[in-house]
Amino acid sequence: MATLTDDVVALPDGGRPSPTLPENWRTVSRPDRRVFQRADRDHYIVFGDGTDEWLVVLCSQGDRAYPAPLAHRTVAEEADLERVIQELAEESNALIEPPKGEH
């Protein structure tokens, strides 16, 4: 039951530590993948493995039937995947302007 909720924060993929993410992001373990989800917007980061590289995608679901990609990176398998996830989380945070009065 716990794997079906959005509040499952775990060390997925055999206990590998999650990347250090901005405060408004969390790691969510799903049965088939690890998802990095923004807590204050419907932005999330997913990744898939290819033959020699990773595809890392920042998406937004919104009211659409399918997620809309906002940004992506294709990186070699031996690349620093944690750094790429951190960059996309920061890019997501930069896409949303802070409320008036907060800078």
**What's the pLDDT tens digit per position in 65-103?**
778 889 999 988 888 888 899 999 999 988 876 666 655
**Whole-number Å distance between alpha carbons of 32 and 44:** 15
What is the value of pTM for the model shown?
Answer: 0.69
For residue 26, which phi and psi values (nearest 5 degrees)? -145, 160
Q: Is 11 a residue whose pLDDT tops 60?
A: no
* Residues 47 and 59: beta-carbon distance below 8 Å: no
> Is the pLDDT score of 56 beyond 60?
yes
Contact 94, 87 (CB under 8 A): no
